[in-house]
Chain A
C-alpha cells in the first residue's frame, strides 16, 4: 500500500528566504506526482504536476523535482513571501495509470512566512 510522508509537518521562515519542502513515497511505481496548496478552510489548488518520466517542473518561484527511484520529491520556493503561507500537500497517482486515477496524499506541511 502506497504511503506518502511529508517533512517537516510545519515550517516557519522569515520573508525572502528560500526553502525546501520534502515528500517521500514508499512505492516508486508512480504515474505522476502533484503538489497542491491549501489555504485555511479552502480547497486545494494544484501548483505543479510532474510525470514519472520527468525530473522537474517549474512555475514562477516554484520548482518541483522528482527522483522516482528513491521515492522522493522536493518543492523549492524561492524568495518566500507572506502570501506563500499555506499548507502544501503532495499526492501520487499509481503507476498503473490507465483507468486508475486515485491519488494518495501526504498530510501536508504548514508553511508560515513571517514579514
Chain B
C-alpha cells in the first residue's frame, strides 16, 4: 500500500537537544511538506520541498531545519533554538502539476513532540 510513514509517533525532547522527525513516502510524489498543529489551531507550514536537494521556508521555519537528499524522504530537525516545540507535527506529500494533475496533499499520521 502506498502512503506516508512518520516516525516516531511520540517523541520527547530535553532542554538544549536537537531531535529529528522522520517522514518517508512511497507514492512517488515530487513535493513534500512539514506542518505544525497546535491544539485548536489550523496547520501552519514549516518547510516544503518540490525537488530533491531543494526546499523553501514556510511561515514558521525559525528553529527548524530540513533536508531532501532522496525523493522519498524529508526529515525535519527541531533544534534547540525552537523554544516552544511542543506540538503535533504532520508531514504531507503531493504530485506537482496543473489541471487534471492537480491532486490533494496526502498526510502521514503525525508525530507528537513534547518537552521533558
Contacts and interface: CB of A to CB of B under 8 A. Distances in A.
Interface of B (DSSP majority class): strand
A34 B94 CA distance: 13
A71 interface: no
B40 A32 contact: no
Given A41-B110, A44-B90, A103 B102 contact: no
A46 B106 contact: yes
A61 interface: no
Contacts of B48: 101-102
A66 interface: no
Contacts of A101: 31, 33, 48, 50, 94, 96
A44 B96 contact: no
Nearest to B110: A43
Interface residues of B, number: 29
Interface string B29-52: 001010000001111110010100
B108 interface: yes
A42 B103 CA distance: 21
Given A89-B43, A99-B50, A107-B41, A49 B102 contact: yes
A103 B112 contact: no
Given A4-B42, A89-B42, A103 B50 contact: no
Give the 8 A-B residue pairs with the shortest CB-CB distance, closest first: A105-B42, A43-B107, A46-B104, A44-B107, A105-B43, A107-B42, A43-B109, A49-B104
Interface of A: 4, 9, 31-32, 34, 36, 41-46, 49, 51, 89, 91, 97-99, 101-108
Given A41-B88, A91-B43, A101-B33, 6 more contacts: A34-B105, A43-B110, A44-B107, A46-B105, A91-B42, A105-B43
